[in-house]
Amino acid sequence: MNLKFTRLIRVVFLAVTTILVVLSCSKFEDVTIDSPELSAVAAIKRQFDEQEESYSKSGQSTQKTFRQSLERELDWDFAEFVKDTLYVPIDLSLPENHYSKGGHAFLQNRVWLQAVKISGTDDYYFKMLTAFPDSSRNTDKFNGLIVYEDYFVGSKKTLAFENSVRSNKRIVSATKKHSSESLSKASALDCYDVQVGTVCVGDPTNPEAPDKCYPVLETLCDQSDGGSGPPNPGGFPGGDPGGLPPGLGGGGGSVNDPGGAKKKLIEGSSNSDCDAIRLAKLKMANSKIAKAINDIKDLKKENGVKLMLQNPEDLSTLTVDPNYIQGTYNSVTPSRTWNSHDGFVLGFLHNHPSGSAPSPSDLFVPAINLNALLGDPEVSAAALKNYIKNYSSIVVSNGHVYTISIKYSVNFQGLQVSTTNRTAENQRYGDLTRRYLLQNGLDGNNVNHRQEASEAALMRMYGDGVNITKQKLGEDGVQILKLDSNNKVKGSNPC
């Protein structure tokens, strides 16, 4: 056996061993935990699925508002009990080609499925709760309106809350001090037009024209009769619609991290290939981001701009900082903050005049440390979820746009801790890039070959923590980057 073949066998052995170790370390995700609470959630979900199927087969139809008509995505993995009532977060998905003002596919409301046990039985009644705060502040107590409605039929009851307690005043008194524009008075004394969101759509005849955005309003009338109300106020089906979901003062642990919700988010959140592609498309469809890309794409020095939220829990407040940060030919320093004074930075956009692919620093330096968000009592679970789902580092280079987002949050969190030695990370990145060029007979002086090799290095180093998409400037085709069985970079769109 010659020396060259022996070395090859060693390389293959080490590679196989490394893969097996990684796979064995990741098997904790498949472990089944025997938990009474998880069993109870599963039983409630089965009953919900049965009722949903029964309602679907009944052919029953009701007139629905825009909000009620949206497709609902239930996050059963983050279901949480408050006493005997189960709350399941819901995302309201906008129609195709529509998006929120912040460039997202979901209406940015705080919505839950509420499963209330019917007294004396093992059955549950299912309601949908939608919260409309009368303040954009991130506080420990809830002030505003909550709509409780039959999940399937849609009959609803609207109640006012002050400091997370059912208001004993009419809504006119309860909302006089609101600081947002989500509520505006309607004709009736105790009714309000509530802005459930701002929906945008591009001009199909002129892609370069500004997006057309319009507010979606829904009239809600206060039906609180003061205090806790009668046992069954207004004959609402399923009994008293009262009860607050986690995080609005309803219990389930501390208000800042009810039931450890933030910890659960980091341990259990993931974004699929299609999530990453959808996020990239939504960011590119945002007119302010598109303008920033056009402003910096041909500059001879790296320039960057912060993507910011005015309200960390409301993605419709996404904006682009008007102040550009100028760097050198091959570097720029992003600004990361997450507070009301300096701003809630959700990502960073910058150019690469050299035409290079993203670097390790581009993946992690713009990101807020997830451990910091977890430990900050001022950061709510809703804000953390928004961050995990929508963080993006956008790099404009050589006629392409890369969008880096979080894949598995727990892995991303681990990489943030383990990649602090930037010199060592960049050294490894460079070594893997050169190795790819040599193994595949590519020319290191060719910018396209160099991009491909660098992409492969990134996927080898961080592919279990981040998603990376790529698209040509001015074109719609977004592709997710992957390594194939031969460790070669391939772009595809499986969605």
Rounded distance, CA 88 to CA 110, Å? Answer: 11
Q: What is the pLDDT of residue 60?
A: 80
With cut-offs at 50, 70 and 90, classify the pLDDT of residue 207.
low
What average pLDDT does this structure show over 291-320? Answer: 91
Q: What is the pLDDT of residue 193?
A: 74
Tokens of 357: 């692919």
Q: Encode burial over 395-406: b for 16+ CB neighbours within 10 A, e otherwise.
A: bbbbebbbbbbb
Rounded distance, CA 494 to CA 302, Å? Answer: 33
Question: What is the per-residue pLDDT across 396-410, written as a single tens digit (0 to 9) for each?
Answer: 999 999 999 999 998
What average pLDDT does this structure show over 454-463? Answer: 92
99 or 336, higher pLDDT: 336
DSSP 241-280: -----TTTT--SS-SSSGGGHHHHHHHH-B--HHHHHHHH
Residue pair 452/433 in contact by the 8 Å Cβ criterion:
no
With cut-offs at 50, 70 and 90, classify the pLDDT of residue 89.
confident
First to last CA, the chain: 48
Cα 125 to its chain centre, rounded Å, is 29
Q: What is the pLDDT of residue 417?
A: 73
Which residue is listed with tokens 């960011």?
283
Percent with pLDDT over 90 in the chain: 31
Least confident range from 4-13, 83-92, 315-324, 466-475: namely 4-13
Q: What is the pLDDT of residue 400?
A: 94
Q: Residue 347 above 90 pLDDT?
A: yes
With cut-offs at 50, 70 and 90, classify the pLDDT of residue 105.
low
Q: What is the pLDDT of residue 76?
A: 84
Please choose, from the candidates 362, 424, 372, the residue with its C-alpha nearest in 3D space to the C-alpha of residue 393.
362
What average pLDDT does this structure show over 236-248? Answer: 57
* Angle (nearest 5°) at CA 110 between 106 and 111: 85
Q: What is the pLDDT of residue 241?
A: 55
Q: Residue 318 above 70 pLDDT?
A: yes
pTM of the predicted model, to two decimals? 0.54
Question: What is the per-residue pLDDT across 419-452, written as a single tens digit (0 to 9) for each?
Answer: 767 777 888 899 999 999 999 999 989 999 999 9
User: Rounded mean pLDDT of the chain?
Assistant: 76
Which residue is listed with tokens 């550009």?
324
Q: What is the pLDDT of residue 8?
A: 46
- Burial of residue 61, with CB atoms counted within 10 A of its CB: 0-12 exposed, 13-18 middle, 19 or more buried: exposed
| Dihedral in degrees, nearest 10, Cα atoms 65, 66, 68, 73 | 180
Q: Domain coordinates of the chain in residue numbers?
A: 36-255, 264-492
Q: What is the pLDDT of residue 223?
A: 57
With cut-offs at 50, 70 and 90, classify the pLDDT of residue 10.
very low
| Residue 112 φ/ψ region, left for φ over 0, alpha for ψ in the -120 to 50 degree band, beta for the rest | beta
Least confident range from 5-19, 52-66, 130-144, 168-182: namely 168-182
